[in-house]
Structure 1
Amino acid sequence: MRHSRPFEHRSRSWSAAPAASVFVRLDRSSSVPLYRQIYQQLREAILSGALPEGARLPTERALARELGVNRTTVMNAYNELASEGLIEGHVGRGTLVRRSLLALEDEECEPAMPSWLLGLAAGESEVLGPDARVLSELMALAEYGGMISFASAMPEPALLPAELFREICQDSLLSARQEALGYCPVEGLQSLRQQVALRMRRRGVPVDAGHILILSGSTQGIGLVGRFLLRPGDEVVVEVPTYIGAIQAFRALGARVIGIPLDSEGLRLDLLESVLGRHRPRLIYTLPTFQNPTGVVMSPERRRRLLLLCRRYQVPVLEDDAYGELYFDTPPPPPLKALDSNEQVIYLSTFSKMLAPGLRVAWLAGPVPMIERLSLHKQVFDLNTNAFGQWLVAEVLRRGWLDGHLRRLSAAYRRKRDLMLQAIEHYWPREIRVTPPGGGFHLWCRLPAGLRARTLLREAAAEGVALLNGEPFHVDGGGQQYVRLSYAYPQEAQIEEGIRRLGIVLKRLLLQRSQEQMRSSPPEHIPMV
């Protein structure tokens, strides 16, 4: 097992200056992100002269391996140092310290960063929590080769419908220049709003175009609804665990986030009713269908009871339905919005999982007065959602191509899910608990008692495998024994290999735990003869 310690200098090709490694000590219990700790300690060594000009730093990969962190973590630390002019990359020579450029020998010189920028990043963990950068680091993983990523919640590149988009552009782009390439209304292209409303009516939700607001991604919808309904100090109820982006969005607005546990049928309504009676929250956020990260589907009866509670306590519900149409065998229950007869439900979904995340096209469905007000809020921050992406999606819907594409996706993801489950059965210790999902992108795994997910992440990264630990999905400090694996992004051949590597790590960690327990247990008393 790796421990927090300074890493050793192993490269003879460095300059004669002290190795940068001796200045880095990581405190994994700290709320300061790991990349920030690396940046701060190397910065201090450079500014003090302990790392002089021309000293060569280790490569990102080498430093990540020695510290037991993700390569993206080191990359972010190096980027911070480079942005201040403290280091510089040279082809064939590596990354070198540039301290002299700052004229730091002069005690009266100006600071390397404008004074109004100093300390801005320090408040991230206070507002958003210690895992504030987990989403941005997640996105960055996709750019690095050699890493098998079970962390990215995005489609495999081969499943992105580039052929459909090419055909649409070849057929219609020249005749649709203004609609596809010009400005569009804040509410979204009328053609897309009409197609989205038509699709929702087919799923049992009685809406028309006036109920639809097009968004630049579903996280924007969470933020808009939060700004509309919440004031600093207001309370929001979320599931535990839940989507990381929602936790961060609500905390950034100054809301107090209250977590309610899930069971196999979804949100625990017995606990929710107790909270509603005592706290009177302003909003309930739920992912009732193939919940992220657990894959749980809220039962029909619990959906009806949830709406009854919301009506009784006059609390609106934000239903996030990113995965509802990506089911493998049995269709899930209708959306909460389909059961909503009192306009208690604000419905949110996205084409990022169904088509392509790069389109940045999602939508909200809600009462017309709310959509009108949210449009005013939206134009302050985002005057136009990507018109080209909207036009492409509208054409896919108009031509009736989405259902066939979803069938291909569901078949591919079902195959990947089964492959991952079979590999887990073959390579992993029996102590790990996994619940097979009926749709969506993720497996939620419980580790044995005494084995922490952060330890597994660190060891897995050294083996070239990325996954997510459970703590960022929790608002109550839990999740230490859970990890999320996403089967959507990696290729099929990578799934078995990645699970095999994780199996080796898990067996090693369990063996270490067993040996530690044996050493710590008192010896048996042997009676004298």
Structure 2
Amino acid sequence: MRRSQIEHQALPLFTASARSLIQLDRNSGIPLYRQISDALRAAISAGDLTPGMRLPTERALAQELGVNRTTVMNAYNELASEGLIAGHVGRGTLVKRGYFSQDEDSFEQDTPAWLLGLAAGEGAVLGPDARVLSELVATGGYREVISLASGTPPKELLPAEQLQTIFMEGLSGAREEALGYVPVEGLLSLRRGLAARMRRRGVNVDLQNILILSGSTQGLGLIGRFLLNPGDEVVAELPTYIGAIQTFRALGARVIGVPIDSEGMRVDLLESVLSRRNPRLIYTQPTFQNPTGASMSQERRRRLLLLARRYQVPIIEDDPYGELYFDGKEPQPLKALDSRDYVLYLSTFSKMLAPGLRVAWLAAPEPMISRISLHKQVFDLNTNAIGQWAVTEFLRRDLMDGHLVMLRERYRQRRDAMLQAIKTYWPAGIRVNYPHGGFHLWCRLPGDLRARSLVREAAQERVAFLIGEPFYTDGSGHNYIRMSFAAPAEEQIEEAVRRIGHTMKGMLKRQSARDDGDARHLERLPMI
């Protein structure tokens, strides 16, 4: 028997009762084929139907659901047009991938590994959530879905008019600077402007301490290549930013999680890790952390710096949200307390200006900037010039501070709208953080409610959010969800939260009924 035939026989078959995933409401105005496709789409997005799994034949599924075969065929065709399933001769209809599915696109076993671009074992290194970031962007293309998943600025808050004026008034006079090659370190004018802006926030840096990047994640990768070898350990908050987990794992590092609470990383637990192990890096988002929204207290910040010096471990401070604060005065970066150059500071204009500009920066000691620039030019000769020039002009024309004032007020209103909607529509027993800045709400579900089950059922209500598991390095987070309030309008936020609350209440009601049934069954059991 050929190898491909053996592997084809080993494909997992969807053997669960279709009725457990597809519940048809024949009195609903929604066509039956749409109800079927919605339920399967939700199961794929939740990971209940995984890539490579074989779906029932159209005839078999139609018989089990009591519908016409054409109804199932139309449902399958809709999912196939979205790239979620595909028919294969001799193999049936197979799941490809869902909105938040993270396995490989291709399950064609005869495809050579080099064509997929995968080194041996790379899938295991990257982990099961390798695609979650790219697929967050894709959710925005589904117009009927209210997405609380992607933490990106909404289009109406992007400064298109100001940038249009900048381009119309200044581009023709800045052809070489805006459209030509620029130094690997970045435009001199931008580096000077960023250094001045950081000094206003209490960070003692100059332009030679600044390296312009194409995004914070590029900075994580460059620092990792510079400081890490395969097998090295990196300490990160638990939970933490998905992109950081992916980047460090792609470099062959092992990520050790230290729990976080309302005051940030538990530095008391960090000390025991540093004393027993030999990590090469500490990664933290001390201000409005993603996903929890927590900010590290001043006492813990000072203690963290003390531990870094004691155990000679540098800190990466990732600060995409520090200037998007809602209450009180602007928080200082951790690096403002750093007198020994242990903090490598990353930030980006993606959240506070426009992600499409692809401009971020690293602030670090001058020798490190010089060395990392050599690494950068191997992969990326220079960050795009026109984006750097546009940001430089935005800063030079004193537009940034006014823009940030507007953003803070709009995002604060959206945060408040989400918190109020949760209070109005959700059942008791929910634990929700109260972020003083940033984009995200972090929620612990009540009782034994699982996030994967909730996201699957909520998808049938046309609402999306993120489950907690991808933010953890230890496989936990089953009872947590992250909802981002930045992109949707306030009325969309309220409606999305209402739908999620309706779904939760239905699940809890069914769960309670099952528990009561189990209890009555136990009462009837004979005593031993």
TM interval, shorter chain, is 0.7 to 0.9
1:309–1:223 distance in 2 versus 1, CA, 3 Å = same
Asked whether the equivalents of residues 429 and 447 of structure 2 are also in contact (C-alpha less than 8 Å), the reply is no
1:334 is matched with 332
Question: C-alpha distance in 2, partners of 1:303/1:326?
Answer: 19
Deviations 1:373-420 (A, max 9, x none): 111111111112111111111111111110100010000000001111
1:485 is matched with 483
2:52 is matched with 37
Residue of 171, 180, 186 corresponding to 1:182: 180
- Within a 5 Å distance, the mapping from 1:486-505 to structure 2 comes to 486-505=484-503
Asked whether the equivalents of residues 300 and 333 of structure 1 are also in contact (C-alpha less than 8 Å), the reply is no
Single out whichever of 511-520 and 237-246 deviates more from structure 2. 511-520
Asked whether the equivalents of residues 235 and 282 of structure 2 are also in contact (C-alpha less than 8 Å), the reply is yes
2:222 is matched with 224
1:394 is matched with 392
2:61 is matched with none
1:218–1:29 distance in 2 versus 1, CA, 3 Å = closer
Q: Which runs of 5+ in 2 are unaligned?
A: 1-13, 25-30, 59-71, 95-107
1:187–1:476 distance in 2 versus 1, CA, 3 Å = same
Question: C-alpha distance in 2, partners of 1:238/1:362?
Answer: 21
Query: How far 1:58 moved relative to its partner?
Result: 4.5
Asked whether the equivalents of residues 125 and 131 of structure 1 are also in contact (C-alpha less than 8 Å), the reply is no
Question: C-alpha distance in 2, partners of 1:251/1:467?
Answer: 24
Query: How far 1:268 moved relative to its partner?
Result: 0.6
Matched, 1:75 2:75: no
Question: C-alpha distance in 2, partners of 1:319/1:469?
Answer: 25
Asked whether the equivalents of residues 260 and 267 of structure 1 are also in contact (C-alpha less than 8 Å), the reply is yes
Deviations 1:421-445 (A, max 9, x none): 1111111101111121100000000
Residue of 297, 300, 306 corresponding to 2:298: 300
Task: Find the residue that maps to 2:443 and give its secondary structure.
Answer: strand
1:518 is matched with 516
Matched, 1:354 2:369: no
Asked whether the equivalents of residues 431 and 447 of structure 1 are also in contact (C-alpha less than 8 Å), the reply is yes
1:185–1:57 distance in 2 versus 1, CA, 3 Å = farther
1:57–1:369 distance in 2 versus 1, CA, 3 Å = farther
Deviations 1:6-47 (A, max 9, x none): 57899x999xxxx999x99x89998xx956235xx37999xx
Normalized against structure 2, the TM-score is what? 0.82
- Within a 5 Å distance, the mapping from 1:119-198 to structure 2 comes to 120=118, 123=121, 125-198=123-196
Deviations 1:204-236 (A, max 9, x none): 111111100111111111111111110000000
Alignment RMSD: 3.5
Residue of 201, 204, 213 corresponding to 1:203: 201
Task: Find the residue that maps to 1:173 and give its secondary structure.
Answer: helix
Asked whether the equivalents of residues 289 and 332 of structure 1 are also in contact (C-alpha less than 8 Å), the reply is no
Asked whether the equivalents of residues 20 and 57 of structure 1 are also in contact (C-alpha less than 8 Å), the reply is no
Deviations 1:46-70 (A, max 9, x none): xxxxxxxxxx965579549xxxxxx
2:4 is matched with none
Task: Find the residue that maps to 2:138 and give its secondary structure.
Answer: helix
Query: How far 1:493 moved relative to its partner?
Result: 1.6
1:97 is matched with none
Deviations 1:252-296 (A, max 9, x none): 111011000011111111110000001020000000000000010
Asked whether the equivalents of residues 450 and 513 of structure 1 are also in contact (C-alpha less than 8 Å), the reply is no
1:449–1:137 distance in 2 versus 1, CA, 3 Å = same
Question: C-alpha distance in 2, partners of 1:122/1:494?
Answer: 44
Question: C-alpha distance in 2, partners of 1:321/1:406?
Answer: 15
Asked whether the equivalents of residues 294 and 435 of structure 2 are also in contact (C-alpha less than 8 Å), the reply is yes
1:190–1:493 distance in 2 versus 1, CA, 3 Å = same
1:170–1:311 distance in 2 versus 1, CA, 3 Å = same
- Within a 5 Å distance, the mapping from 1:44-443 to structure 2 comes to 58=74, 63=79, 75=83, 77=85, 113=111, 116-117=114-115, 120=118, 123=121, 125-443=123-441
Asked whether the equivalents of residues 231 and 254 of structure 1 are also in contact (C-alpha less than 8 Å), the reply is yes
**One-letter code aligned to 1:362:** A
Normalized against structure 1, the TM-score is what? 0.82
Asked whether the equivalents of residues 218 and 350 of structure 1 are also in contact (C-alpha less than 8 Å), the reply is yes
Asked whether the equivalents of residues 358 and 384 of structure 2 are also in contact (C-alpha less than 8 Å), the reply is yes
1:491–1:27 distance in 2 versus 1, CA, 3 Å = closer
Asked whether the equivalents of residues 191 and 394 of structure 1 are also in contact (C-alpha less than 8 Å), the reply is yes
Deviations 1:116-160 (A, max 9, x none): 436949955411111111111101111221110000110111000
Question: C-alpha distance in 2, partners of 1:502/1:205?
Answer: 42
Asked whether the equivalents of residues 361 and 390 of structure 1 are also in contact (C-alpha less than 8 Å), the reply is yes
Asked whether the equivalents of residues 37 and 78 of structure 2 are also in contact (C-alpha less than 8 Å), the reply is no
Question: C-alpha distance in 2, partners of 1:13/1:335?
Answer: 54
Q: Which runs of 5+ in 1 are unaligned?
A: 46-55, 65-70, 88-109
Question: C-alpha distance in 2, partners of 1:253/1:320?
Answer: 18
1:458–1:203 distance in 2 versus 1, CA, 3 Å = same
Task: Find the residue that maps to 1:36 and give its secondary structure.
Answer: coil
**One-letter code aligned to 2:513:** Q
Asked whether the equivalents of residues 442 and 483 of structure 2 are also in contact (C-alpha less than 8 Å), the reply is yes
1:383–1:239 distance in 2 versus 1, CA, 3 Å = same
Query: How far 1:75 moved relative to its partner?
Result: 2.7
Query: How far 1:369 moved relative to its partner?
Result: 0.6
**One-letter code aligned to 2:52:** Q
Asked whether the equivalents of residues 4 and 27 of structure 1 are also in contact (C-alpha less than 8 Å), the reply is no
**One-letter code aligned to 2:459:** A
1:455–1:13 distance in 2 versus 1, CA, 3 Å = closer
**One-letter code aligned to 1:304:** R
**One-letter code aligned to 2:170:** S
1:286–1:8 distance in 2 versus 1, CA, 3 Å = closer
Q: Aligned residues, how many?
A: 472
Task: Find the residue that maps to 2:255 and give its secondary structure.
Answer: strand
**One-letter code aligned to 2:313:** V
**One-letter code aligned to 2:451:** A
1:120–1:230 distance in 2 versus 1, CA, 3 Å = closer
**One-letter code aligned to 1:452:** R
Task: Find the residue that maps to 1:184 and give its secondary structure.
Answer: coil
1:204–1:77 distance in 2 versus 1, CA, 3 Å = farther
* Identical residues among aligned pairs (%): 61
**One-letter code aligned to 1:75:** G
Task: Find the residue that maps to 2:260 and give its secondary structure.
Answer: strand
